[in-house]
Amino acid sequence: MASPETRKRPNILITGTPGTGKSTVGQQVAEKLGFDFIEVGKVVRENHLYSEYDESYQCHVLDEDKLLDHLETRMDSEDGGVVVDYHGSDFFPERWFDFVIVLRCNNTLLYDRLKARGYDDRKIRENIECEIFGSLLEEARDSYKAEKVHELTSEVASQLEENVDYITELARTWKPS
């Protein structure tokens, strides 16, 4: 098991409310750096890492233990160089990540993005409330050292490029702790 002190390249978690651009930012950062990209939702579906299907939310219920077991070998490798995209952050081991990026978005724009995805009104409302209260930022701050957590606004195309550049620069200037 590698530690943050022995890892060759940083691991990055990109988190935020659904619709804030995690997948887009994560894929671009991974591509720019030559890192692996792990979209947790996709990994969960493809590998059946869920406990059940929640009809009311129209989604699978993540089995955190199965997911952590599935990712452990890759995340604990000495090579590092992984960008992980997921809307939660509190159940991952802190040692896995050198940077935790929390993407934020204004509520009107977030509403439009979620509506365009076909989310029902209840799911939209709950995600908007999550964003209003800064729940995922608070979760990240409660789960990781302050210097690891970076809050970025993700609303317009120019910010996408700025955010990708910012995260890429963090990774390039990273030194093992």
The strand ranges marked E within 91-148 are 99-104
Burial 122-156 (b: 16+ CB within 10 A, else e): ebbeebbebbeeeebbebbbebbeeebbbebebbe
23 is in an annotated binding site: yes
Structure tokens at 112: 């439009």
User: If you search the block for the tokens 């030559």, which residue do you land on?
Assistant: 34
Q: Is 117 annotated as a binding residue?
A: yes
Closest CA to 95 of 165, 2, 175: 2
Residue 19 is labelled as binding a ligand: yes
Q: Is 24 annotated as a binding residue?
A: yes
b/e per residue 35-60 (b: at least 16 CB within 10 A)? bebbbbbebbeeeebbeeeeeeeeeb
Q: Are 63 and 50 in contact (CB under 8 A)?
A: yes
**Residue stretches of the annotated binding site:** 19, 21-24, 117
Residues at the binding site for ATP are 19, 21-24, 117
